[in-house]
Amino acid sequence: MPHSHPIGIFDSGIGGLSVAAKVRELLPADDILYVADSRHAPYGDKSDDFILERMNTVTDFLLGQGAKAVVVACNTATTSAIAQLRATCSVPIIGVEPGVKPAVLATRSRVVGVLATPRTLQTHSFSALAARFSSTVSIEVQPCPDLVGQIEALRFDDHETLVLLNRYIAPLLEKGADTIVLGCTHYNYLAERIAQVAGPGVQIVSTESAVAREVVRRLACEGLLAESGKSGDEAFYTSGELAVFGRQIDRLWGPGKAVYPL
């Protein structure tokens, strides 16, 4: 496959844009195709079978557009069904998972909190991840069923969003967490607000930079990095409403980018 082909990135909505932005920083010459499966967002309250069906549909679209690799920029999708997706694809499939390992290395209180969608926390993959460290560190989980909707609506500073953050973070602090993992890529857009609510003694762990570095590593191993000397372009697709997605892209990526229906 030519190295000039684009990198495909998808999420249930706009959360994966935070990953795409880090990929763009590290790979300025590569083209990026981003899909927000917004019609079916959030994935966090869907079944594994439904999530896998959407992952297959979106991945087939990206491969049809020539994607040389696919980034599943969604913790729920990764923990639910990425193994099945990899089994059927010949291109590199890179996922994301909650940053429990770096949080365990960073904690001083030996209590790590995890904010995530209910579905992510219910998956076998997440349970196995947490179990790897639970003998030495207490992993305290907090499902956040209403947070993605606020972020999709770009209500980062909305009073309701701050109320939700206080509600979700308080139990983790009461249990002694000094490190909080953002277990959903959507939450990256609230990282500063989460840090403010948690307080100065709490470290916030996100994984978008680590995922972007893994994309670089995998493409380099496969000889698929774009040649330097050109500026990569982006194309943005959604299964949801174009007008809404256009406003989201204007806010989170920058004005002037066209959006297309999936």
Structure tokens at 73: 């920029």
Write the single-letter amino acid at 102.
P
- Contact present, 224 and 29 (Cβ < 8 Å): no
How far is the C-alpha of 1 from the C-alpha of 91, rounded, in Å?
9
Contact 44, 119 (CB under 8 A): yes
As a whole number of angstroms, the distance between CA 8 and CA 237 comes to: 11
Phi-psi region of 110 (alpha: psi -120 to 50; beta: other; left: phi over 0): left
User: Is residue 144 flagged as an active site residue?
Assistant: no
* Residue of 89, 144, 184, 221 marked active site: 184
74 is catalytic: yes
Which one is catalytic: 74, 89, 144, 221? 74
Q: What CA–CA distance (Å, rounded) separates 140 from 142? A: 7
Alpha-carbon distance 39 to 16, whole Å? 15
* Residues forming the active site: 74, 184
